[in-house]
Amino acid sequence: MGIAILLLLPLLLLMFDSSGSDDIAFETENSETLQADDADATIRPIEPDEPNEIVRTGLIVPNDLFGANAVYSVHTDDGIPTDTFNSAMDAFEIDGVRFPAGQAEMDPGDVDGLDTLDITQLTTEGDLRPELKAFMDRIDADVILTIPTTTPLSSYGDDLDTWAELVMQEYGDKISAFEIGNEYWAFMGETEYGQRANIAVQALASGMDAAGVEEADIIVQMASTYNESEYTSSRSSAGFIDRLTAANNTIIDQFSTSTLAEIDGVVEHYYWNKSPIPFENNSGEIRYMDVDFDVWQSRFSQDLDFHITEWNLKMGNCTCNGLRSMAIHVEMVENMIELGVDSAQVWPIVHNTTNDLGGPDDDGVVETDAQGRVVETVRGAIFDLMSEALPGTELIKLDIESVENGMEIAAYERDGEFVFYFGSNTTAQENFTVDLREIIPGFSSAEGVQIGYDRATSDGQIWDPSEGRVDALSVQIDGETYYLNEHDTRAQLTDFVYRSPVINVSLNPYEVIQITAR
């Protein structure tokens, strides 16, 4: 984004606007409590026994893992996608979006059609509302439509079947799923959300049946024990896992037998609120989504799909931003694959936030290099590289003997082509050798792309939501100040071609290199 200047007033407004920034809305979990309750079980049970041994997981990276959120008031003008959002869609080659994202729900004081959008409202003539039609007419992607759950309970679901019939008849070829609500725990407890979801599922299923077209999926939220949850630590003395399990079961208990049969999948949001690497590889690192999913799957006879409709570095996690965020994004993708996630939509693709991937939402264009690779931010660069290289590959586990254990490694393979990610997790320069002779005996060639930050776009400052503009964390490298967590620099991509299976790599602190070999 160049040396992007995050304007003070919009950011102050964002700090109090949950609809514009879903990851900071009502985040009140007690990190110390969760740490104490952390499950000990690793989420990585499959590991190599010997150096250079390849262990196949059988886990294939889904094509829908690199979608994006289309936030109504940020990415559209009355439903018409903005130039910046269209630029982001093109630059990142996004083919799946979620709309209107977190702005499906109304906070007190919000104005429908301005701050939020209830897409299920019909016009006085009984037609779909124009903002929804404007978006659906123009978007060239599969769409998850998020419907609200915060309208009055006494009338909740009225005409929802009619709306579902209309929207499927007109846009059924673009709609991949209906998502019931957004972060219910900000507004209500599990019992009420379950009751509302039960109504919505029945109405959506009826409307889709009447439409007579191929049906979209119906997906519902799993539990989170925050804020209005009936199972916060202030409302229950039980341990965290017991409270989380009870919260999930309470939602499911509100469903009728016919509702259970109509639900196709479940939803979570995944924001990285941990410390920098090294990683823990346990349930705490994945926000206990494994616990949630196990509860839900045990209550259903059909296999449930798993959707993460928002994910990213948490916006307020300043320590982990900038260069430090890249290995975190690699880890989050690996975690989602291990969880069996079927689709995911990053938040936000462009925005006036510290964790956007493509720069400010009013910039007009997302910067790419001569090869069309995103360089607007380092976060965007690693996301773009992974989204291009990984779909259809298999996650594999290996321990490369020539690479020290302190280096973060992720590896994938398809039809004899391997994709490796090596990430530095120290504040010193790292020089190491990647010896692929045993892993790829018939080695023919390899390419690498190393991601650092463009120092010409650095001003050494970050925006901290709690402190304002402050100095970024830094170390001295070759006599120059090197910034670790500056969030608004552009990425610098350095390309390599390798003719030998023995590859020498030099990384500055927290840089990541992607190596593709065959």
Per-residue confidence (pLDDT) for residue 47, from 0 to 100? 63
Give the separation between CA 70 and CA 65, rounded to whole angstroms: 16
Q: Give the closest residue to 504 by CA, choosing from 437, 410, 431.
A: 431
Asked if residue 471 lies in contact with residue 485, where contact means CB atoms within 8 angstroms, the answer is no
Say which residues have a Cβ less than 8 Å from residue 68's Cβ, sequence separation at least 6: 88, 89, 92, 94, 96, 97, 98, 345, 346, 347, 348, 349
Nearest to 406 by CA among 246, 269, 237, 279: 279
* Distance in Å from the first CA to the final CA of the chain: 34
Determine the pLDDT at residue 96.
99
Mean pLDDT per 10-residue interval, the chain, length 518 residues: 39 41 39 37 56 90 99 98 98 99 93 97 98 99 98 93 99 99 98 98 98 98 98 95 98 99 99 83 94 99 99 96 97 98 99 97 95 99 99 95 84 98 94 95 98 98 94 97 98 98 97 98
Type and span of the H or E element at 12: helix 8-15
pLDDT of res. 48: 64
Domain at 395-517, CATH homologous superfamily: Golgi alpha-mannosidase II (2.60.40.1180)
- Is the four-CA dihedral 380, 386, 392, 396 of positive or negative sign? negative
Enter the pTM of the model.
0.91
β-pair partners for 311:
270, 346
Report how far residue 400's alpha carbon sits from residue 501's, in angstroms, rounded to the nearest whole number: 12
Return d(Cα 49, Cα 41) in angstroms, integer: 19
Question: Which CATH entry fits the domain spanning 17-392: 3.40.50.620, 3.30.565.10, 3.20.20.80, 1.10.540.10?
Answer: 3.20.20.80
State whether residue 355 is helix, strand or coil. coil
Q: Give me the long-range contacts of 134-140 (CB less than 8 A, separation at least 24).
A: 134/76, 134/78, 134/79, 134/80, 135/70, 135/76, 135/79, 135/80, 135/81, 135/99, 136/167, 136/170, 136/171, 136/174, 138/80, 138/81, 139/70, 139/81, 139/97, 139/99, 139/174, 140/89
Spans of all domains in the chain: 17-392, 395-517
Tokens of 443: 């080695």
**88, 93, 99, 100 alpha-carbon torsion, rounded to 10°:** -10
Strand bridging mode 96-99 / 67-69: parallel
The H or E element containing residue 291 is: helix 289-298
Which residue, among 367, 366, 377, has the nearest Cα to 329 in the 3D structure?
377
Q: What are phi and psi of 158, to 5 degrees?
A: -60, 130
To 10 degrees, the CA torsion angle through 503, 508, 514, 518? Answer: 0
As a whole number of angstroms, the distance between CA 185 and CA 102 comes to 13
3-state SS track over 404-466: CCCCEEEEEEECCEEEEEEECCCCCCEEEEEECCCCCCCCCCEEEEEEEECHHHCCCEEEECC
Is it true that the peptide bond before 348 is cis, omega within 30 degrees of 0? Answer: yes
